[in-house]
A and B are shown apart, each in its own frame.
Chain A
Amino acid sequence: MVHSAEAGPRTLFDKIFDQHVVTAREDGQCLLFIDRHLLHEGSFHAFDKLKARNASVLRPDLTFGIEDHYVPTRTRDLAAIDPAIAHMIRQLRDNTTRHGLRLFGLSDPAQGIVHVLGPEQGLTLPGLTIVCGDSHTATHGAFGAIAFGIGASEVAHVLMTQTLWQKRPKRMRIRVEGRLGPGVFAKDMALSIIAMIGADGAAGHAIEYAGSAVRALSMEGRLTLCNLSIEAGGRCGMVAPDEMTLAYLRERPYAPSGTDFERAADHWLALRGEPDAAFDREVVLDAAEIAPIVTWGISPEDAAPITASAPDPDRMTDHARAAHVREALDYMGIRPGQPLTEIAIDRVFIGSCTNSRIEDLRAAAAILAGRRARVPGLVSPGSAVVKRQAEEEGLHRIFTEAGLDWVDAGCSMCVGMNGDLVPPGERCASTTNRNFRGRQGPGSRTHLMSPAMAAAAAITGHLTDMRPLLQGRESGLTKGR
């Protein structure tokens, strides 16, 4: 293939990239064809750019609207919410209607967070290029797709041309070998990786996750792992498609069916990287050494095993790192050297594109069943489909009997755009992806962790090693399967 970076064995990323090159320039820029373009309420800047050029959408059949960022979770009635928020939703409806795009709106039985809905509906397929004006688009890489977040100018570019100019990024392979211990999940794997390589450790790289522990993850687990690629600075993250990928996709509403599926499946399985393909960088972790992780600071790299203590900046030799740790501990209201299990929380949030799938809710419910939460909390399933399934399995009763609120699907308290906010100064145990200053609301303090860890924190009222609380309840993790 003339567009390949170099001859020789190719990675999964390179095979897909090469198949999408429309034209390549001397300077290395490639015009890539985009197979799926997912839009949410934030797309209005891009539609404004279309309007300014009087342009139309080139491929409405490959473009989908999803209401998720601003949607209310306690009502579905737009008349009952903040008019400015309702306006964001109506604006997306107007723009998708004007351009003839399929919209998954509030009343749609498939509505949900874009990165939950895409896979669930079979819009996400192996070998595709998928973009969305959202940095967690890497999630879809769990299926062996090149999926990445883009800004408004690029959204406008894709709407008008169904392409993007891209330079081939460097390739990084992250291998996790061995078996995860009981009570250790994809979230712990991802946070361990970020703590190890840093929040910009994968900048400029496309990540491929591999190794026996990654292979052993369910599709839900792979989605969580790929979702957090951006928190390590990665351009995208992906897992090679395998039989588990195919089994997940069969019979999904928008996936190919019948002989089309079989033909596609042959194509998808052939995308796997060749054994001798070279990576620019390789990182290896031992799954057995990964413990349940929580964050203590204001960057996802500020993460440590729950059994550890907060760092002490006075003992650090790196001046810039010590300054960051000081800032972080000050913002978070944590003492240097404070054991993490001593940190009391004010509320929990279980949801977001990182951890709101059925397996996540089962893990939280396994810990919460028959127990009471000491703090208030919100459980927001990733989609209406997840919500229905959880209710069929009776999980919603476990949450409400524990004292938590069971609400509708949306981005909710992860980013607070819909008004689900953590009040100033409050500390939230959260299954989300960003513990940035003020992310969940001005002055909010976020600790990232897995759903089971958030559930355990809800029960004890402080950051807690959930493993003793899981004992004898492991079957709850796979209930309904």
Chain B
Amino acid sequence: MDVFKVLDALACPLPLSGIDTDQLIPARFMKRSRADGYGNFLLYDLRFDENGQRHPDCPLNAPRWQGAKILVTRRNFGSGSSREAAVYALADYGFTCVIAPSFGDIFASNAVNNGLLPATVSEEDAEALLAALESSDGSARVDLETCEIRAANLVIPFRIDPVWRTKLLNGWDDIDLTLSHSAAIEAFQVNDAKTRPWLVPKSRPA
């Protein structure tokens, strides 16, 4: 996984609350292989009409926000379905950071597992940032070392679980870490088989 330290990029404002994972990637696109890339399906029904034409008022379609790597939005981003494809769509589109006042728990965890930073800010700071990006050149700096966002003349602190921060800063993958605890997992199972002998279903009807 890529290391995340400091990101200087365009920050696209998307002033909507409750952008759930069904919107981030509608279910009908989830049959595809990740190898094909999910970026084209990101927020598909917000970006395109029923004939596949771009909605001109969707910020993601505006020329000035092309190439943005940071998305700034309102509360409860990524709520709903646990589909990791929502993160794949963001990542494949080019986003590596989302800034919002709150995130769906499962989404945030999925994001970190893919090197995408979910940065939590206060509602006031989110509103200030949304406004500042519209009236400036739209660039921002997200510093994970200091947990600060700089845009226009704003300096905004953001929150991230310290464990997730460490993981992103180092680009760690959980599986390798866990495999280093294999002996402890084995010991747990041996003991557990004695204390909870009913754990494994015995009956396996056809």
A interface with B by C-beta (< 8 Å): 22-23, 27-29, 31, 33, 35, 42, 45, 48, 53, 61-62, 70, 84-85, 87-88, 102, 110, 122-123, 125, 128, 133-135, 148-154, 156-157, 160-163, 165, 167, 198-200, 203-204, 230, 233, 235, 253-257, 260-261, 263-264, 267, 298-299, 319-320, 323-324, 327, 415-417, 424, 434, 436-439, 442-443
Query: Which residues of the partner chain A approach B203 to less than 8 Å between Cβ atoms?
Result: 253-254, 257
Binds A, one of B2-10, B11-19, B62-70, B144-152: B11-19
Query: Which residues of the partner chain A approach B181 to less than 8 Å between Cβ atoms?
Result: 22-23, 31, 163
Enumerate the 10 nearest inter-chain pairs by beta-carbon distance, A residue then B residue, closest first.
A151-B110, A256-B198, A151-B84, A153-B113, A152-B84, A149-B82, A254-B201, A135-B82, A200-B76, A264-B198
Task: Determine if B23 and A151 form an interchain contact, defined as CB atoms under 8 angstroms apart.
Answer: no
Query: Which residues of the partner chain B approach A149 to less than 8 Å between Cβ atoms?
Result: 82, 106
Given the known A-B contacts A102-B204, A165-B174, A324-B17, are A439 and B22 also in contact in the complex, defined by CB atoms under 8 Å? yes
What number of A-B contacts does a CB cutoff of 8 Å give?
Answer: 187
Given the known A-B contacts A233-B104, A299-B18, A323-B15, are A62 and B200 also in contact in the complex, defined by CB atoms under 8 Å? yes
Bound Cα distance A239, B135 (Å): 50
Q: Could you tell me the distance in whole angstroms from the C-beta of B25 to the nearest C-beta in chain A?
A: 11
Q: Tell yes or no: B194 within 8 A of A by CB.
A: no
A-contacting residues, B171-200, CB 8 Å: 174-175, 177-179, 181-182, 184-185, 188-189, 192, 196-200
Query: Which residues of the partner chain A approach B98 to less than 8 Å between Cβ atoms?
Result: none
Q: Could you tell me the distance in whole angstroms from the C-beta of A17 to the nearest C-beta in chain B?
A: 14
Q: Could you tell me the distance in whole angstroms from the C-beta of B199 to the nearest C-beta in chain A?
A: 6
Number of interface residues of B (CB under 8 A): 63
Query: Which residues of the partner chain A approach B31 to less than 8 Å between Cβ atoms?
Result: 70, 84-85, 87-88
Given the known A-B contacts A22-B181, A323-B15, are A233 and B76 also in contact in the complex, defined by CB atoms under 8 Å? yes
Bound Cα distance A339, B29 (Å): 36
Which of B76, B109, B166, B201 has the most C-beta atoms of chain A within 10 angstroms of its own C-beta?
B201
Task: Determine if A436 and B20 form an interchain contact, defined as CB atoms under 8 angstroms apart.
Answer: yes
Task: Determine if A157 and B201 form an interchain contact, defined as CB atoms under 8 angstroms apart.
Answer: no
Bound Cα distance A29, B188 (Å): 17
Contact of A165 among B85, B104, B106, B178 (CB under 8 A): B178
Q: Tell yes or no: B129 within 8 A of A by CB.
A: no
Bound Cα distance A418, B33 (Å): 17
Bound Cα distance A149, B178 (Å): 20
Which of B17, B110, B184 has the most C-beta atoms of chain A within 10 angstroms of its own C-beta?
B17
Q: Could you tell me the distance in whole angstroms from the C-beta of A118 to the nearest C-beta in chain B?
A: 11
Task: Determine if A327 and B106 form an interchain contact, defined as CB atoms under 8 angstroms apart.
Answer: no
Given the known A-B contacts A264-B198, A320-B123, A438-B22, are A162 and B185 also in contact in the complex, defined by CB atoms under 8 Å? yes
Query: Which residues of the partner chain B approach A23 to less than 8 Å between Cβ atoms?
Result: 181, 184
29 pairs from A and B in contact (CB 8 Å cutoff): A23-B181, A28-B163, A31-B178, A33-B185, A53-B175, A61-B200, A61-B201, A85-B31, A125-B198, A149-B82, A150-B109, A151-B87, A151-B106, A151-B109, A153-B110, A154-B113, A157-B174, A163-B185, A203-B76, A203-B103, A233-B76, A233-B79, A233-B104, A254-B204, A255-B201, A319-B127, A327-B16, A415-B27, A438-B26
Query: Which residues of the partner chain B approach A200 to less than 8 Å between Cβ atoms?
Result: 75-76, 79, 102, 104
Task: Determine if B163 and A235 form an interchain contact, defined as CB atoms under 8 angstroms apart.
Answer: no
Query: Which residues of the partner chain A approach B166 to less than 8 Å between Cβ atoms?
Result: 27
Query: Which residues of the partner chain A approach B125 to less than 8 Å between Cβ atoms?
Result: none
Bound Cα distance A319, B178 (Å): 45
Task: Determine if B18 and A199 form an interchain contact, defined as CB atoms under 8 angstroms apart.
Answer: yes
Q: Tell yes or no: B36 within 8 A of A by CB.
A: no
Bound Cα distance A437, B165 (Å): 32
Bound Cα distance A204, B113 (Å): 17
Given the known A-B contacts A28-B163, A200-B79, A436-B80, are A123 and B201 also in contact in the complex, defined by CB atoms under 8 Å? yes
Q: Could you tell me the distance in whole angstroms from the C-beta of A237 to the nearest C-beta in chain B?
A: 13
Task: Determine if A31 and B82 form an interchain contact, defined as CB atoms under 8 angstroms apart.
Answer: no
Task: A128-B199, A299-B79 given; name 6 further pairs at CB < 8 Å.
Answer: A35-B199, A125-B198, A165-B174, A319-B127, A323-B17, A438-B45
Nearest neighbor of A234 in chain B, beta-carbon distance: B105
Bound Cα distance A42, B85 (Å): 10
Query: Which residues of the partner chain A approach B57 to less than 8 Å between Cβ atoms?
Result: none
Q: Could you tell me the distance in whole angstroms from the C-beta of A328 to the nearest C-beta in chain B?
A: 9
Q: Tell yes or no: B170 within 8 A of A by CB.
A: no
Given the known A-B contacts A157-B174, A165-B178, A167-B161, are A135 and B106 also in contact in the complex, defined by CB atoms under 8 Å? yes
